[in-house]
Amino acid sequence: MLGHCAKSQQPMISAAIRGIFTAASGQEARERLADVVERLQPIAPKVAQLALDAESDLLGFYAFPREHWSKLRSTNPLERVNREIGRRTDVVGIFPNDAALIRLAGAMLIEQNDEWLVSRRYLSQESLSSVLDENDHTPNKKNKQNKEVPALSAA
């Protein structure tokens, strides 16, 4: 959003957006977003429209338990992966072709995926089980918990 406003407006817009993410509830966040959109409409209409159009994406993490909010609204894991790709491509320097770059980045992403599948957890198993228990309204919970998850197919 900061790319769609003047440099002089960026600190004010950034602070307004941060205020939305620090709300104590989803309802308060919606109210703050509506207030921000209203205040930005005269000075930065494109930013106001972007915020309004992205409301469900911006506030989606409020549907989860409060202890998950800080991790769900953060892009830290994605930034870490991008930084590691940048670090490794800097070591190589010049790639002979686009395919070589794609192979290196793809191999790193596969490695990262495998690591997250096996050893790392961004949200603990106990924390996630509380979300699954809240969403499970079936009378026979034991059968649902033991059901195997189907494998994802390649796009």
DSSP 8-20: GGHHHHHHHHHHH
Position 4 pLDDT exceeds 90 = no
- Please report, for the chain, the start and end positions of each structural domain, with discontinuous segments joined by +: 2-63, 72-136
pTM passes above 0.85: no
Greater confidence (95 vs 135) lies with 95
Given this model, what pLDDT does residue 132 score? 67
Q: What is the pLDDT of residues 103-132, one digit of tens each?
A: 999 999 998 888 877 776 666 666 667 666
38: Cβ contacts below 8 Å, ≥ 6 apart: 48
Whether 154 shows a pLDDT value over 70: the answer reads no
What is the structure's pLDDT at 136? 61
Query: Which pLDDT tens digit goes with each residue over 17-41?
Result: 888 888 888 888 889 999 989 988 8
Separation CA 120–CA 80 (nearest Å)? 14
- What lies within 8 Å, CB to CB, of 6 at 6+ separation is 44
Integer CA distances (angstroms), 36 to 17, 50, 58, in order: 8, 12, 13
Question: Strand, helix or coil at 48?
Answer: helix
pLDDT value of position 141: 46
Residue 152: per-residue pLDDT: 57
* pLDDT given for residue 110 in this prediction: 92
- Token code pair at residue 78: 């994605």
**Rg of the chain over all Cα atoms, to the nearest angstrom:** 21
In the predicted model, what is the mean pLDDT of the chain? 79
Structure tokens given for 146:
């033991």
At residue 5, the pLDDT reads: 81
